[in-house]
Amino acid sequence: MGELDGRVALVTGGARGQGAAEAAIFSREGAEVVIADVLDEQGERTAGSLGCRYHHLDVTSETEWEAVVADVVDRTGRLDILMNNAGIFRPARLVNTSTELWNQTVAINQTGVFFGMRTAVKAMIEAGNGGSIINTSSVAGLEGTFGSTAYGATKWAVTGMTKVVAKEAGKHGIRVNSIHPGVIVTDMITDMLAGGQDEKMVARQPIGRLGTAEDIAEMALFLASDRSSYCTGQAFTVDGGIHG
Ligand SMILES: NC(=O)c1ccc[n+]([C@@H]2O[C@H](COP(=O)([O-])OP(=O)(O)OC[C@H]3O[C@@H](n4cnc5c(N)ncnc54)[C@H](O)[C@@H]3O)[C@@H](O)[C@H]2O)c1
């Protein structure tokens, strides 16, 4: 018996990194998982290796969101779990943040989560089974992180939207929570870890290692499952203790 038997999950940015680990743990626990990403080849490969489906989705596109959720609901009759994981991280101080970088970061990290929640909440209400929405924020959505104005702004927005939508959707049995990863070793931060930077970062961690995608996936599973049935509107930090 899996914890997510009979549930249907959609994981954005699931081609690699944390999203792939979340898709893997949801599948292991019995959910029917759809991976959605812009990296089609990698997404197909990841989905193939996990025995789940892949669907192209650029989270900045309202119409693509409608298409993917309609496809999931047409095939399965339900959507129980939305893992809003897709995101980009292009660090830049305020004075170096171009309007283009700002708009791109907002479109993917913030508007993408808004479109996802709006589309999924409608589908979840119609299906009548409740649901769990998990939004990936960051420790940068809980504190001021030096040198990432646009990223920090979008991740604070995710923290805030989570709390608002949790209050609106609770009466439909839909829970909405955010995860706040610290430094997680994925392709997103390869450049940051180059040239001995990883050792410096490890030295700053109260738990003396960097995080893994699986560390985050364990929290995602908790929030997706009924074990967290009385938790909504909350921020769950998984960061080895750096945000204190
Ligand atoms: N790695 C870290 O240290 C860290 C820390 C805090 C928060 N996060 C957040 O965790 C989430 C997952 O990141 P990751 O570490 O797995 O990095 P990653 O770069 O490996 O994965 C991000 C995924 O999002 C996808 N994506 C990007 N733009 C997209 C779009 N427009 N539409 C659909 N998919 C898109 C990418 O193709 C990729 O598969 C992100 O939201 C990120 O901001 C990461």
130-139 residue pLDDT tens: 999 999 999 9
Residues with catalytic roles: 151
pLDDT, the chain, mean: 97
Number of domains in the chain: 1
DSSP of 117-160:
HHHHHHHHHHHTS-EEEEEE--GGGTS--TTBHHHHHHHHHHHH
Question: What are φ and ψ of residue 12, in 5° steps?
Answer: -85, 150
Q: Tell me the average pLDDT across 99-103.
A: 98
**Would residue 200 count as lying in a domain?**
yes
Q: Does 39 reside within a domain?
A: yes
Using the predicted structure, report yes or no on whether residue 161 has a pLDDT greater than 90: yes
Q: Which H or E run contains 53? A: strand 53-56
pTM, rounded to two decimals: 0.98
Question: Is 244 a member of any domain?
Answer: no
* Closest ligand 1 atom number to CA of residue 21: 16
Q: What is the mean pLDDT of residues 193-216?
A: 93
Return the percentage of the chain with pLDDT > 90, whole number: 95
Residue 183 lies in a domain: yes
Question: Which residues have CB under 6 Å of ligand 1?
Answer: 12-13, 15-19, 37-39, 57-60, 85-89, 108, 136, 138, 181, 183-184, 186-189
Distance from the CA of 132 to the center of ligand 1, in angstroms? 20
CATH code where residue 28 lies:
3.40.50.720
| pLDDT tens digit sequence for 68-98 | 999 999 999 999 999 999 999 999 999 999 9
Atom of ligand 1 nearest to the CA of 183: 3
Is the residue at 24 inside a domain? yes
Residue 1 lies in a domain: no
CA 88 to centroid of ligand 1, rounded, Å: 5
The residue whose CB lies within 8 Å of the most ligand 1 atoms, and thus the one to mutate among 186, 204, 219, 239, is 186
Mutual orientation of helices 40-50 and 17-28 as an angle, nearest 10°? 20
CA gap 13, 83 in Å, rounded = 9
Ligand 1: nearest atom to the Cα of 181: 6
Model pLDDT, residue 116: 99
Q: What is the mean pLDDT of residues 164-169?
A: 98
Domain assignment present for 243: no
pLDDT recorded at residue 163: 98
User: What are the percentages of helix, strand and coil residues in the chain, rounded to 5?
Assistant: 50, 15, 30
Q: What are the pLDDT digits (tens) for 5-24?
A: 999 999 999 999 999 999 99
pLDDT value at residue 173: 98
Check if the beta carbon of residue 113 is closer than 8 Å to that of residue 120: no
Q: What pLDDT shows up at residue 168? A: 98
Q: Residue 164's closest CA among 177, 152, 173?
A: 177
Give the domain extent around 33. 8-238
Query: Does residue 14 lie within any of the structural domains?
Result: yes
pLDDT surpassing 90 at residue 191? no
CA of 170 to the centre of ligand 1 (A): 27
CA distance 153 to 103: 11
The predicted pLDDT at position 42 comes to 98
